[in-house]
Amino acid sequence: MNHRMTVRAGRLAALVVALAPLGLGGAFGALVSCSHGSHEAATQHHCPMHPTYVSDRPGDCPICGMRLVPIGKNRTDGSAAPAHATHAHAAAASEGGWVCPMAECETHADGPGRCPKCGMDLVPVAASPNAAAAGVPGMAAVETTGDGRRLAGVQTAVARHERIERQVRAAGTVVADETRIRHVHTRIAGWVDRLHVDFTGQAVRKGMPILAIYSQELVASQEEYLRAREAARRFGNSSLPEVRQGGEELVQAARRRLEAFDVPRSFIARLERTGRPQRAVPVLAPSSGVITAKQVFEGQQVEPGMDLFTVTDLSRVWIEADLYESEAARVRVGDEALLTLAQDPGAHRAGRVQFVSPSLDPETRTLKVRFDFDNPDGMLKPGMYADVRLTLEAADGLVVPDSAVMDTGVRQVAFVATGDGRFAPREVKVGLRTGGRALILAGLQDGEHVAVAANFLLDSESRLRAALAPAADAGPAPTPPGGGSHSEHGAHP
C-alpha cells in the first residue's frame, strides 16, 4: 500500500510547479516525503507546528516557515516523540481551538493559555486545510500567501444585494407591415391613358391620382347615368308618386354602377356639374406611402384583377428577429422592446412585441419574433438591420460576478475568502445569470468575498488537498522491513 501511495505522489508532483504561484506546498509535502524515505539509519525532519509535513533533509516548513526539527530529537529529554503524537496534533488541528507548538506535547485546549507540559504559549489553530469542506465532497480549503495570490492573479469581489435584469439582444431585419400594403387593380378592361406615377419608390398620398384609364364601358356607364338624371327630372313633374320614385331609383342604379367600377366620387360630382362624359377615368392611390412595385406602362391594355401598383405605408414597420427557444419562451405579445440602429447608435426607439411564431425553425432551432415600431420620419427602411433589446425577467437578491461560480456539472461551487489568505469551497445555488452577473439563491451571505479570478487554480489545489488528506493525516510511511526504502521507480534492496 505504501508503494502505491508513493507512485501516486510521484505522478502528482509535477502539478506542484503549476500551482506554485499560490504559495502552497503543505498538501504535497507529506506525500512527497513518502517517496523519499531513507534507510532505517537516515534521519527525517518534520515541522513542530505541522507534524504531518515530513522531509528527509533539514529546512523550513513551507506552510508556516518554522525550522524543521529531526524526528526523535525534539523532546527536551532526548527521547523520541510518541508515535501517536503527530496523529493527536493533526486531529486537534482539524477540530480547531488552541494547541501547543510542540506536537509531542499533545496539548489541545478550547481557549488560549500555556502548555502544562513545556510551558509554551498555546497558538490558535484553524480547521485543518486538509479537511474536506462541509457540503462539498472531494474538495478542501486552500491557503495562499500574498505573493502567491498576486502571482496567480487571484481576485475577489463582494457579494451584494442588487437588482438584476436579464436582457436579450437580437439582430433583427426591418420589413414592411403587411397590414399596410395595398395593391392597385382595375375592375374593368381598358387601356392606360396616362401615368401620374412613373417609377418605383415614388411617394404618393392617399387620394391622389396615379393613373387614368380609358374604357368604352366606363364611357357608356357615364352616358347612362346622365340620361337617368335627365329622365328623373322629367318624372319629377308627374302627379303619380310611383313615377317619381321610379325615376329616382333609375338614377341610384346608374350611380351604383359607376361606383362599382371604382369611379371616384369627385369624378361623379364633376360629371353631374358638366353633364358631359369624360374619356379617361382616374385611379386614385388607396393609401399614403411609397410605390414598392409597378407593373404598368402608358398605353398598356389592362384587365380586371391585374396588379398595377403596390403602395406600402412605411409610417409603421415590423422588425423580425430570431430568438433561441430558451429566450423566446419568456417573450409575450405586448412586451416592450428597445431598438438601436447601426447608423445611429445613440438613438433609441420604443416598440412592442407584435407576434411570436407558433412553430420552431428545425434548422436554426429558433423562433421568429416580430416587433412593431413607429417610423414617422422614414428612418427605418425595409431590409435594414437593427438591434432589439428585450428585458425578459428581473429579480432582487444577492449578486456576484458570474466568474465566481464554477459549474462542475453536478454542483455549483464558489471559493469564499475566510481570512488570512484562506479560501473555502462552498456549494451555492444560482438563479438568474445575465450580463456577467449571477443571482445567488443560497450558499452565500451579504458582504462575503468570493474569488472571481484564478478559480481553476484554486479548484485544482482544493481537489488535490482533499485527495492527499488521508495520506497526510496518516503521517510518514513506516520503514519497510530490511531497511529498504521505496521510491517511485520501485523498491531498492
Q: Rounded distance, CA 186 to CA 210, Å?
A: 12
Mean of pLDDT values over 118-136: 52
Instruction: Quickly list DSSP for 227-257.
Output: HHHHHHHHHTT-S-HHHHHHHHHHHHHHHHH
Distances, alpha carbon 173 to alpha carbons 4, 92, 139, in Å: 64, 68, 50
CB atoms within 10 A of CB 233: 10
Q: Rounded distance, CA 144 to CA 418, Å?
A: 11
Mean of pLDDT values over 77-83: 40
pLDDT at residue 78 is higher than 60: no
pLDDT at residue 254 is higher than 80: yes
Phi, then psi, of 337 in degrees rounded to 5: -140, 155
Mean of pLDDT values over 420-443: 88
Are 156 and 449 in contact by the 8 Å Cβ rule? The answer is yes
Q: Give the model confidence (pLDDT) of 164-207 as tens digits.
A: 888 888 889 999 999 999 999 999 999 999 999 989 999 999 99
- Average pLDDT score, the chain: 78
Residue 37 confidence (pLDDT): 39
CATH numbers and ranges of domains, the chain? 2-140+470-492 (no CATH), 152-164+394-457 (2.40.420.20), 168-177+314-393 (2.40.30.170), 178-312 (2.40.50.100)
Element (H, E) at 433: strand 422-434
Q: Give the model confidence (pLDDT) of 349-381 as tens digits.
A: 899 999 999 898 889 889 999 999 999 888 899
Are 184 and 210 in contact by the 8 Å Cβ rule? The answer is yes
C-alpha cell at 126: 484553524
Instruction: Quickly list DSSP for 167-208.
Output: EEEEEEEEEE-GGGEEEE--SS-EEEEEES--STT-EE-TT-
Looking at per-residue confidence, does 138 or 356 come out higher? Answer: 356
Looking at per-residue confidence, does 261 or 17 come out higher? Answer: 261
CB atoms within 10 A of CB 193: 16
Distances, alpha carbon 417 to alpha carbons 53, 404, 471, in Å: 25, 12, 26
Looking at per-residue confidence, does 316 or 345 come out higher? Answer: 316
Are 68 and 61 in contact by the 8 Å Cβ rule? The answer is yes
pLDDT at residue 232 is higher than 70: yes
Residue 457 confidence (pLDDT): 87
C-alpha cell at 7: 507512485
Residues of the chain with pLDDT > 70, as a percent, come to 75
Q: Give the model confidence (pLDDT) of 259-296 as tens digits.
A: 999 999 999 999 999 999 999 999 999 999 999 999 99
Q: Crossing angle for the helix pair 26-34 and 2-12, nearest 10 degrees?
A: 130
pLDDT at residue 444 is higher than 80: yes
Q: Rounded distance, CA 487 to CA 36, Å?
A: 6
